[in-house]
């Protein structure tokens, strides 16, 4: 992608330095700040609670994120586990909001959450400088929702959180829904109505083989085509043009122009050729792809005394080796050693 098409880059700006060996510009960093989660979604977790991997100190995440930003990252998304469980998350947001990109712009600062603690944290997070939240919701009826999360009362709590985030101005607010055939695929049309009623952008995400247990089969995935066809029968859809090359969602509005849905189709329509992402796990390892078979121990180097220049060199070398693509559904596909909740979704 040309430098000029990156947000915040003008022709006078320095060249982006984070480019991988496939010519992709890397500008998006997802940082897991805990792998603990207060939900036990049936398609994600086995039901065990507690951390499986260590957490770094908030100052340590900050030092590592600063290095990435100094190399060209423009967007940081905090995730987990459940990031709102992490003590110090508001302070971390405040520090990140004060950072400037290589192009002297504020970071695009977002957070992905299950929404359970959002009612109390939406206002402090907004005041600290967070731009947007994405809330994961896998059903719009309470019984199905609670069967998936395995937490009684969770639907009402999350809905309150969504409304608090909207009122606090953490917008546009996205709601992510993972559809699984036989679990919640009856929610498709309900989500389309929910997007319009609540003023949120719903993103359906195809289920990927990243669960703790063994649930994934090609047949359980509800594909982009099926979702578009089904919603279109009730509410005609109009496809929206992509806003940037690395956009992962195919976006649609409704024929009357009110509301937006999107579909992220890593399985049926992989978008690896435009991938702009890196991940940092809660224990400070760089993952260059959700499906990487290797991790790169950035924190280990920091702990053993590497200075910033050495760490920057290590990051650049790691990015050079970013995988061309994933191999979901191909013969010989190997699941990564960590599941989604321990990588950072
Ligand atoms: N706790 C936060 C939340 O619920 O959004 C952040 C972590 S969670 C792992 C991030 C996202 O990953 C959620 O939207 C979840 O639905 C999604 N996810 C988990 N397992 C997945 C899978 N196997 N395929 C696709 N998405 C998955």
Read off the pTM. Answer: 0.93
pLDDT band at 143 (very low <50, low <70, confident <90, very high): very high
Protein residue with least CA distance to atom 2, ligand 1? 113
Q: Give the position of tokens 């036989």.
A: 182
Protein residue with least CA distance to atom 12, ligand 1? 345
pLDDT band at 248 (very low <50, low <70, confident <90, very high): confident
What per-residue confidence (pLDDT) applies to 13? Answer: 55
- Which of 148, 170, 180, 340 for mutating ligand 1's site (highest number of atoms within 8 Å of CB)? 340
Q: Which atom of ligand 1 is nearest to the CA of 134?
A: 5
What per-residue confidence (pLDDT) applies to 184? Answer: 95
Q: How far is the CA of 321 from the centre of ligand 1 (A)?
A: 25
Condensed to tens digits (0 to 9), the pLDDT of residues 187-226 reads 999 999 999 999 999 999 999 998 888 889 999 999 989 9
pLDDT band at 330 (very low <50, low <70, confident <90, very high): confident
The token duo for 44 is 């994600």
pLDDT band at 3 (very low <50, low <70, confident <90, very high): very low
**What residues are in contact with ligand 1 under a 6 Å CB criterion?**
37, 44, 79-80, 82, 112-114, 136, 176, 178, 205, 207-208, 210-211, 340-341, 345
Pairwise pLDDT comparison (214 vs 168), residue with the higher score:
168
Condensed to tens digits (0 to 9), the pLDDT of residues 15-24 reads 657 899 999 9
Pairwise pLDDT comparison (77 vs 17), residue with the higher score:
77
Three state DSSP letters for the chain: CCHHHCCCCCCCCCCCCCECCCCCECCEEEEECCCCCCCCCCCCCCCCCCCCCCCCCHHHHHHHHHHHHHHCCCEEEEECCCHHHCCCHHHHHHHHHHCECCCCCECEEEEEECCCCHHHHHHHHHHHCCCEEEEECCCCCHHHHHHHHCCCCHHHHHHHHHHHHHHHCCCCCEEEEEEECCCCHHHHHHHHHHHHHHCCEEEEEECCCCCCCCCCCHHHECCHHHHHHHHHHHCCEEEECCCCCCCCEEEEEECCCCCEEEEECCCCCCCHHHCCEEEECCCCEEECCCCCCCCEEHHHHHHCCCCHHHHHHHHHHHHHCCCCCCCCCCCCCCCCCCCHHHHCC
What per-residue confidence (pLDDT) applies to 51? Answer: 81
Report how far residue 260's alpha carbon sits from residue 265's, in angstroms, rounded to the nearest whole number. Answer: 16
Protein residue with least CA distance to atom 8, ligand 1? 345
Q: Is 173's pLDDT higher than 80?
A: yes
Q: How far is the CA of 233 from the centre of ligand 1 (A)?
A: 28
Mean pLDDT score, 159-184: 96
Average pLDDT, the chain: 92
Exposure on the CB side of residue 101, measured as CA atoms within 13 A: 25
Q: Is 7's pLDDT higher than 60?
A: no
What per-residue confidence (pLDDT) applies to 16? Answer: 56
């Amino acid at each position: 992608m040309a430098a000029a098409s990156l947000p915040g880059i003008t022709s006078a700006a320095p060249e982006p330095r984070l480019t991988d060996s496939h010519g992709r510009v890397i500008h998006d960093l997802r940082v897991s700040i805990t792998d603990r989660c207060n939900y036990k979604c049936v398609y994600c977790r086995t039901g065990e609670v507690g951390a499986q991997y260590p957490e770094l100190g908030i100052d340590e995440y900050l030092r590592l994120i600063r290095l990435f930003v100094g190399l060209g990252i423009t967007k940081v998304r905090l995730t987990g586990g459940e990031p709102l469980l992490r003590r110090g998350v508001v302070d971390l947001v405040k520090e990140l909001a004060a950072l400037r990109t290589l192009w002297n712009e504020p970071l695009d600062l977002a957070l992905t959450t299950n929404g359970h603690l959002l009612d109390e944290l939406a206002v402090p997070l907004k005041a600290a400088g967070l731009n947007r939240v994405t809330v994961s919701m896998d059903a719009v009826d309470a019984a199905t929702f609670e069967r998936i999360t395995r937490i009684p009362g969770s639907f009402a709590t999350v809905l309150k959180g969504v409304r608090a985030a909207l009122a606090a101005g953490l917008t546009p607010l996205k709601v992510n829904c993972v559809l699984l055939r036989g679990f919640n695929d009856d929610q498709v049309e309900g989500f389309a109505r929910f997007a319009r009623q609540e003023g949120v952008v719903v993103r359906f995400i195809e289920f990927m083989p990243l669960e703790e247990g063994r649930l994934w089969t090609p047949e359980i995935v509800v594909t982009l085509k099926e979702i578009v066809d089904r919603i279109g029968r009730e509410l005609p859809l109009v496809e929206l043009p992509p806003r940037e090359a690395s956009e992962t969602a195919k976006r649609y509005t409704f024929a009357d122009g009110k509301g937006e849905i999107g579909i992220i189709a890593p399985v049926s329509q992989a978008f690896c050729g435009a991938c702009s992402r890196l991940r940092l796990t809660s224990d400070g390892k760089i993952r260059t792809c959700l499906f990487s078979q290797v991790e790169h121990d950035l924190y280990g180097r920091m702990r053993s005394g590497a200075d910033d220049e050495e760490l920057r060199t290590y990051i650049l070398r790691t990015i050079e080796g970013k995988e061309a693509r994933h191999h979901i559904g191909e013969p010989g596909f190997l699941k990564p050693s960590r599941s989604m909740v321990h990588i950072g979704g």
